[in-house]
Structure 1
């Protein structure tokens, strides 16, 4: 059974989790703390219990610089996709902390780890990728409980990550995470603060029995 205090602690971690971009400090992440966070990630649910994830821990600034180069390429490409008005605001955002964070963690998916036929992946073969994202979320929440900031850098091509880290062709890079202690956590998401998008009301997203059927 979960106690009231344990329940409250879990919700506090969920609601205070943030995508951290620019508040990293120099305090090193101790091995025992990192081990706890990775153990939490490894205990994520996975389709057919295939546990398709691997974790590449990167502290070397030279390797992280290669990842940063990949971000800059994809960042410039992304800027051109927005309208002129949105482009200016987009370019003003701090969207990564690859070099500021003391370490990066690349989470990958081995889609052949349990063979071609996996329980639960027969109708929907992408379930192994979803399982790996569950590991990312576990890692993120455990890191927040350890007062570590995490930032998911999605503005980078997977092939660039693959090349920078020597990832085999049959392994899928899913997430590059910037991890480290921070000076503070924002009260609300930064993009919400900047007025990029508001948080949607839950009532707009809940359907009852059929799509489009709302609660009275």
Structure 2
């Protein structure tokens, strides 16, 4: 029998590469009062995309909380702002510069989702016995799926990680063992950034392939990427 050709068409492959190239961590959103409604069923499609992600041991560790209470959103934003200030204070040399960088769009975005790890994760040991953090990697894959679908549909998504996990977990009533990993801001944007926003703000640039792809062994003399502060 002839070998099966499992390759996508050129147009389909290019569409995938376009989404990869143009995906951005968005922080600037059109206020809901000024923006058209989000596409019907978008949130459900984003969560479905996340749920199609690979997960270690097929444990599917992701859980999502859709935040619709304005008071809860405000309380979450206050926690994020508090952590933003603590992060700035911890930077050795660029604290004032960091404070000028917008790190979230929680006030303007149309939808807010919190992504958490499930509770009871310790019972899942396949693929995690020596690398228990693989559940976090699995959730990262899920969020990447959401990012790509959102970009394909012309909607911005921003991943906010400036919070103290226990405080946010308490605010959301998470059960013991559940762990928040991100606040996702979702909404229409004025424009997608031409480059990652932190790159344009002077906090680094995308590394060359030679800095990330090695053969057989770690190259002698390879230096760590310097911190951007």
User: What TM-score do you get using the length of structure 1 for normalisation?
Assistant: 0.91
- Report the RMSD for the aligned CA atoms in angstroms: 1.8
Equivalent residue number for residue 180 of structure 2 = 173
How big is each residue's C-alpha offset from its partner over 1:43-71, in whole Å with a ceiling of 9 and x where there is no partner? 00001111111111113221110110101
8 Å contact 2:62–2:116 — kept in the other structure? Answer: yes
Whole-angstrom distance in 1 between the partners of 2:124 and 2:13:
37
Pick from 100, 114, 122 the counterpart of residue 92 of structure 1: 100
- Segments ≥4 residues shifted beyond 3 Å: none
1:138 aligns with 2:145: yes
Query: What is the correspondence of 1:17-166 to structure 2 with a 5 Å cutoff?
Result: 17-26=23-32, 27-84=36-93, 86-112=94-120, 116-166=123-173
State the distance in 2 between where 1:162 and 1:42 align.
Answer: 22
State the alpha-carbon separation in 2 of the partners of residues 133 and 7 from structure 1: 22
- State the shift of 1:146 in Å: 1.3
From 5, 23, 28, the equivalent of 2:11 is: 5
CA distance in structure 2 between the partners assigned to 1:60 and 1:144 by the alignment: 26
User: Match of 2:210, SS?
Assistant: helix
5+ residue gaps, structure 1: none
Residue in structure 2 matching 1:192, options 188, 192, 199:
199
Count of equivalent residues: 212
The alpha-carbon deviation at position 35 of structure 1 amounts to: 1.4
Secondary structure in 1 matching 2:207 = coil
Q: Tell me the distance in 2 between the aligned counterparts of 1:49 and 1:111.
A: 15
Note if contact 1:25-1:183 (Cα within 8 Å) is conserved in structure 2.
no
1:80 aligned counterpart, secondary structure: helix
CA contact (8 A) 2:109 2:186 kept: yes
- Greater shift, 4-13 or 161-170, is seen at 161-170
Alpha-carbon shift at residue 164 of structure 1 (Å): 2.2
C-alpha contact (below 8 Å) 1:74/1:157 kept by paired residues? yes
